[in-house]
Structure 1
């Protein structure tokens, strides 16, 4: 079968794509950066496309004519610089369904979520729900799968946050520590999608996917801590009110293109927990792996511990660099005459002042741009280039600063290492 997967580069979509490929199917994926996707998954045929721009049926006709099945694994938690939920999760899907109805598409598999509960009015769930309703009301042969919190060998979003919280030193500070959280293995999700492709489910099937039992968030974090091989630590419940500054900061980061799992949508959903719908269809004959079984299938390595410990440090590293560079630009501007005095032996007063102000604005710009996800990598390389330029120029103009008791040159070296470390952990998936 020729299968088109939306979200094939994602945590769930990549596993489903690999499973279908092993089953002998021909898999095509959509990607906003197909060149990078092709390097990582060369066995998938990649199409350069952005769901946010595919909101008209005409955008889909040519693509669907070459496929028999469509699997939608695409999704985003919240609107931001990199995501438009109404466009990608609703308008694009309605356009897809309209185009599929005029094509030879045999099946549409929608990977959705439980769209009711405490967070049902959030755009993430509202757009998912609208797309689900439109698919159910269509004449398309379709299946909707609603996985609980998906766990697997890799981690992204909420599952990455679980590992980061589990790796906290001494104590485990948790919001909504008593909220129940059902889980499902990503391998089980892929198995059921494969079964759907094989025709094992009737059209219109709408299934909740969750393993038996619903541990609390605190218990689930402890399971992850044990998996990481860390010593026991006590769960410390944190009042919701104290978490609001973190959620507010995460929402701002989302506007700048960073997909933090601590945004308000996740907090709204977690206030009630992650549970199946009471009216949802289940698979009584299909036993799904529990969280412990899922993790034990893939024993952790030191790379998992590194990831868990660095995950929450990453935003601090980025914000720390941003603050450092912005302040390094602002402080000299408060006393530009004194800041430019090192240049006076080599150039006139006016030129020294102009050069000082230019470098100040450059520092501020680099500090600001590193906070914006699409520009972060370029800003980090810019920081390295400018820093090395400063050191080279300073060494030539006033080499004695290397021996200064306050170490203005020596102290720059750790900032270079921090910049390299931030570049190393910049990728999100």
Structure 2
């Protein structure tokens, strides 16, 4: 069959796409940035698209016409610079259902979530709930799947954070450590989608995907710590208020395009834990967390990822602070700063050059904080730093021997910039 997958390069979407492609289906996968996915998986037809632009049925017509089944794996945690939940999780889906009906009907397999509970009124779950109700009322052939915390070979979002917490040294400081968590293997989610696509799950089914047995968040993190090969360490249950400043900062980062799993929506969900809803159970046995981890043994690259994950934000902030200071401090002693240009330029032009370099530093320090500009800003930092060092070496080579090391100190910033580039990608 010809199958369209929304969010095809996401954590769940890619696993679903590969499973269905292996079964012989012809797959078209939508995602906002598909260049790397296209290079890695050329047998899948990749299309770059932003679901927020598909709010009218007419926008879906060509895609719907060419596919018998549509699998929706798209979603986002919280509104931000790059995410509009009402547009992508609700309005685009309602337009899709209309287009599917106008085309004579299509089977829709929807990956949703438990929409009840403390976070039910927040946009993340409220938009999903309205889309689910609209799908159920649409008359379309459909299956809704509601996975619990999805665990697989790779990690993204909440599971990435679990791995990072598991790798902390000495102790495991957790907020909501006692909250219950249910899990489901990523392979089992893909299996459920495959069954739904094949028509082996009754139309109209609303299925919870959660392995039997609840664990606490502390137990889930401890299981991942053992999976990483690290020794057991005590879990410290921290009061919820400690996480609020972190969530506020994560929400602010979200407005700049960074998708942190520490945002307030996730914290609200964790007040009750990650649980399945009142829907029907899976039509086949689901692997437990222990079994899922056994099937996907960790390598040293997983340990590196876990240890580096929480260092990304401090690295970006440190670089921003460094460049903002380097651009601001010379403005308070402009003549002294301009003196470095005097061997090459007259006084007026030296001051102009100093102001220009200060402005460039400040722009780079601000741009690296905005996720869509971060990679370009980091590359710009490398280019500008190289130019600064080359020019300083030609004009004032003695600065390399200065006791305060004004040039030597720049070298560590280069390696921090390279490290930030290496860990910048989210998926």
Normalising by the smaller structure, the TM-score range is: over 0.9
> How far is the alpha carbon of 1:346 from its aligned partner?
2.9
1:57 aligns to 2:57 (yes or no): yes
* Partner deviation per Cα, 1:195-231 (whole Å, 9 max, x = no partner): 1111111111001110011100001000000000001
* Partner deviation per Cα, 1:38-87 (whole Å, 9 max, x = no partner): 11221111223210100000000111111000000000001111111110
Matching residue of 1:321:
319
Matching residue of 2:287:
289
Q: Determine if contact 1:70/1:105 at 8 Å carries over to the other structure.
A: no
Matching residue of 2:164:
164
Q: Determine if contact 2:165/2:172 at 8 Å carries over to the other structure.
A: yes
Matching residue of 1:359:
357
Matching residue of 1:425:
423
The root-mean-square deviation of aligned C-alpha atoms, in Å, is 1.0
Q: What is the DSSP-based 3-state SS (H/G/I as helix, E as strand, rest coil) of the residue aligned with 1:262?
A: coil
Matching residue of 1:307:
305
Displaced runs of 4 or more, over 4 A: none
1:75 aligns to 2:75 (yes or no): yes
Q: Distance in 2 between matches of 1:144 and 1:92?
A: 17
Q: What is the DSSP-based 3-state SS (H/G/I as helix, E as strand, rest coil) of the residue aligned with 1:389?
A: helix
Matching residue of 1:280:
279
1:414 aligns to 2:412 (yes or no): yes
Matching residue of 1:23:
23
* Partner deviation per Cα, 1:16-38 (whole Å, 9 max, x = no partner): 11111111111111122343331
Matching residue of 1:87:
87
Q: Distance in 1 between matches of 2:233 and 2:336?
A: 52
Q: Determine if contact 1:227/1:300 at 8 Å carries over to the other structure.
A: yes
Q: What is the DSSP-based 3-state SS (H/G/I as helix, E as strand, rest coil) of the residue aligned with 2:180?
A: coil
Q: Distance in 1 between matches of 2:315 and 2:47?
A: 34
> How far is the alpha carbon of 1:104 from its aligned partner?
4.1
Q: Distance in 2 between matches of 1:346 and 1:163?
A: 53
> How far is the alpha carbon of 1:287 from its aligned partner?
1.4
Q: Determine if contact 1:65/1:104 at 8 Å carries over to the other structure.
A: no
Alignment of 1:99-118 (within 5 A): 99-118=99-118
Q: What is the DSSP-based 3-state SS (H/G/I as helix, E as strand, rest coil) of the residue aligned with 1:5?
A: strand
* TM, length-normalised to structure 2: 0.98
Q: What is the DSSP-based 3-state SS (H/G/I as helix, E as strand, rest coil) of the residue aligned with 1:376?
A: helix
Q: Distance in 1 between matches of 2:258 and 2:39?
A: 23
* Partner deviation per Cα, 1:316-375 (whole Å, 9 max, x = no partner): 111110111011111111221221222223322211111111111110100100111111
Matching residue of 2:4:
4
Q: Determine if contact 2:70/2:109 at 8 Å carries over to the other structure.
A: yes
1:263 aligns to 2:263 (yes or no): yes
1:374 aligns to 2:348 (yes or no): no
Q: Distance in 2 between matches of 1:34 and 1:173?
A: 37
Q: What is the DSSP-based 3-state SS (H/G/I as helix, E as strand, rest coil) of the residue aligned with 1:207?
A: strand
Q: Distance in 1 between matches of 2:34 and 2:234?
A: 44
Q: Distance in 1 between matches of 2:372 and 2:106?
A: 38
Q: Distance in 2 between matches of 1:307 and 1:289?
A: 24
* Partner deviation per Cα, 1:111-152 (whole Å, 9 max, x = no partner): 000001010111000100010000001110000000000000
1:254 aligns to 2:293 (yes or no): no
Q: 1:394 aligns with which of 392, 395, 401?
A: 392
Q: What is the DSSP-based 3-state SS (H/G/I as helix, E as strand, rest coil) of the residue aligned with 1:340?
A: helix
Q: What is the DSSP-based 3-state SS (H/G/I as helix, E as strand, rest coil) of the residue aligned with 1:335?
A: helix
Q: Determine if contact 2:9/2:34 at 8 Å carries over to the other structure.
A: no
Q: What is the DSSP-based 3-state SS (H/G/I as helix, E as strand, rest coil) of the residue aligned with 1:70?
A: strand
Q: Determine if contact 2:56/2:92 at 8 Å carries over to the other structure.
A: yes
* Partner deviation per Cα, 1:236-283 (whole Å, 9 max, x = no partner): 112111111111111011111111000000000011101112x32113
